[in-house]
Structure 1
Amino acid sequence: MLVNMKEILLDAKLNNYAVGSFNVYSYETIKGVIEAGKQNNNPAIIAFGEKYIKNMDFESVYALVNNLSKDTKVPFALHLDHCSNLENVYKAIRAGFTSVMYDGSSLKFEENVENTSKVVEVAHSCNVSVEAELGSLAAGVDSNEGNLEDKEIYTSPAQAEEFANSTKIDALAVSIGTVHGMYKGVPDIRVDILKKIKEKVHIPLVLHGGSGTPQNVLKDCIENGICKINVNTEISVYTIEKIREMLNDNKKHHLSEVSLKETEFVKEVVTKYMKIFK
């Protein structure tokens, strides 16, 4: 069943676990995430990024997610991920998304507060939750979200407190050393900064860049306030590699078979992280 993301994250915060936010781009990826949630009896956030509008429109994404999740009591949220275009935020809300992320992290602090507050006013009137971001993640290997020129800017705990109080957002994405994509070297995750943010901010905190982050680090982040963890790149990299292996076996394959395998491979990655986040 589709629910407001706030409902899922508040339970995660109360019971000290994290919920995976898994990026989707097609019917097969949507089905993979939902089937993993059903089989593991685990809530999940189905994230559709602004840059994937070229793959599917908002209405089609909503229709598929709503149809595939309506026969289960497992809660799912349909979330607009990393959207800096206000028009697209409002389109997603109208289409039926139950959560949106307005990403004004590249703007000046005051402008980010102003725009985010506008989104909150509209979204909350429609029973839609809002995530926002402070700080900036660098781009790693195989990233489809960040840019090579992106620089790591750690989230200021003091600004995080002011931002959350001023905007009334439901979740805050923080920058503590993770990257968009896979790591180029050994990650240096600043859990010390996260602890300071947790002391000042009392809404669920979000970690972007979950792909490839060591399991012990993820566990440490969850212990210190992270309630939502984004996974995108690993879904793509793993699925592409498995399909490549499949197509190199010197057998003829029908496209319908490849489609089914794609869903299976997505489920494997999603299930892996669901078990880690608990």
Structure 2
Amino acid sequence: MPLTTTGELVTRARAARTAVAAFNIVTLEHLEAVVTGAESVRAPVVLQVSENAVRFRGGRVLPLARAAATAAGQAAVPVALHLDHVRGDALLRQAADAGFSSVMYDASHLPYEENLAATRAAVDRAHAQGLWIEAELGEIGGKDGTPPRDAHAPGARTDPAEARAFVEHSGVDALAVAVGSVHAMTTRTASLDHDLLGRLGTALDVPLVLHGSSGVPDEELRAAVAGGIAKVNVGTALNQALTGAIRQYLDAHPDAVDARAYLDAGRGAMARTVERILTGVGLTPA
């Protein structure tokens, strides 16, 4: 089916009081697994390519973006493309031409006023290209291999009044909020602040996004979606599935040299993970 947009999927999900899942992809196997898993449970999804993934691919965004757009166009469910955690203006300028309908501009590491100014400038550039844009306020942590800050430390979480002013003055279309999740968690033990999430939902008139969802148990994710989260980002869970399946295959077949065999195992494990998340959190059509 034709490639759709992130804004359309998030808007529909929010109106239905549910969320759309957005999966970070690094390889062709990642994107094939996400589409396969989504098709098996008939759920719309977003394929996300992060600035780190672009850097891993030699700084070239087009090869993976073109592959993702092709896979999305052939999918039996709605699929959108999103450029994730962008900090560089050069990459932001490439987003629309590369086929992305949306971008997450990340200046959350900067002090508030600098974050606001950088995000406002990014919003102007993105909207001029017809892009839907997401930003982040608060400290979700755990990116780029750095030790994550305690998600419940004072000042780490998103303040509702500050968030309202940030959204108003930046013009963003969605906001990633810090409510207790952390990027790159390999255990599903995160505890979310649902009271804060409720206050953020009341304070803001844009969709809310949850980053670091791989470390959040299903019941916490379901409560977060019920509390107003409209986009759920997942990345580490796929990498865990891929690495675990490949390791298991090579342990059982120490003489294996054909990459197709162990990549197939990894791709299948990722597809099952996509299915589990979509059904476990209730992100599939009724």
TM-score by length of 2: 0.89
Q: 1:214 to 1:149 in 2, by over 3 A?
A: closer
Conserved? CA contact 2:48–2:81, under 8 Å: yes
Could you list the per-position Cα deviations for residues 55-104 of structure 1 after superposition, in whole angstroms to 9, with x for gaps in the alignment?
A: 33211122101111213452212111112222222222332211101001
Q: Where do 1:51-200 residues align within 5 Å? A: 51-56=52-57, 57-72=60-75, 74-139=77-142, 145-148=144-147, 150=149, 152=151, 153-182=156-185, 186-200=189-203
Please say which of residues 128-137 and 183-192 is displaced more in the overlay.
183-192
One-letter amino acid matched to 1:129: W
Q: How big is the shift at 1:9?
A: 0.3
Q: Hey, what's the Cα distance between the residues in 1 that align with 2:164 and 2:176? A: 12
Q: How big is the shift at 1:252?
A: 4.3
SS at match of 1:188: coil
One-letter amino acid matched to 1:132: A
Number of equivalent positions? 274
One-letter amino acid matched to 2:7: K
The answer to whether 1:234 aligns with 2:233 is no
Q: 1:37 to 1:198 in 2, by over 3 A?
A: same
Q: Hey, what's the Cα distance between the residues in 2 that align with 1:38 and 1:8? A: 16
Q: 1:65 to 1:15 in 2, by over 3 A?
A: same
Conserved? CA contact 1:160–1:201, under 8 Å: yes
Residue in 2 that maps onto 1:16: 17
Residue in 1 that maps onto 2:264: 260
Q: Hey, what's the Cα distance between the residues in 1 that align with 2:243 and 2:187? A: 19
Q: Hey, what's the Cα distance between the residues in 1 that align with 2:188 and 2:94? A: 39
Q: Hey, what's the Cα distance between the residues in 2 that align with 1:149 and 1:20? A: 23
Q: How big is the shift at 1:50?
A: 0.7
SS at match of 2:37: helix
Q: How big is the shift at 1:183?
A: 6.1
Q: How big is the shift at 1:126?
A: 2.3
Q: How big is the shift at 1:223?
A: 0.8
Q: 1:10 to 1:130 in 2, by over 3 A?
A: same
Q: Hey, what's the Cα distance between the residues in 2 that align with 1:124 and 1:4? A: 14
Q: Identical aligned pairs, as a percentage?
A: 29
Q: Hey, what's the Cα distance between the residues in 1 that align with 2:72 and 2:5? A: 14
Q: Hey, what's the Cα distance between the residues in 2 that align with 1:169 and 1:104? A: 13
Q: How big is the shift at 1:198?
A: 0.4
Q: 1:229 to 1:168 in 2, by over 3 A?
A: same
Conserved? CA contact 2:164–2:204, under 8 Å: yes
Q: 1:269 to 1:86 in 2, by over 3 A?
A: same
TM-score by length of 1: 0.92
SS at match of 1:70: helix
Q: How big is the shift at 1:31?
A: 1.1
Q: How big is the shift at 1:260?
A: 2.1
Conserved? CA contact 2:13–2:230, under 8 Å: yes
Conserved? CA contact 1:104–1:112, under 8 Å: yes
Conserved? CA contact 2:191–2:216, under 8 Å: no
Residue in 1 that maps onto 2:216: 213
Q: Hey, what's the Cα distance between the residues in 2 that align with 1:212 and 1:242? A: 19
The answer to whether 1:45 aligns with 2:49 is no
Please say which of residues 123-132 and 72-81 is displaced more in the overlay.
72-81
Residue in 2 that maps onto 1:269: 273
Q: 1:232 to 1:145 in 2, by over 3 A?
A: farther
Please say which of residues 144-153 and 1-10 is displaced more in the overlay.
144-153
Conserved? CA contact 1:2–1:98, under 8 Å: no
Q: How big is the shift at 1:185?
A: 8.7
What 5-or-longer segments of structure 2 have no aligned partner?
none
Q: Hey, what's the Cα distance between the residues in 1 that align with 2:72 and 2:184? A: 28
Q: How big is the shift at 1:186?
A: 4.4
Greater than 4 Å deviation, 4+ residue runs: 183-186
SS at match of 1:211: helix
Q: Hey, what's the Cα distance between the residues in 1 that align with 2:72 and 2:201? A: 33
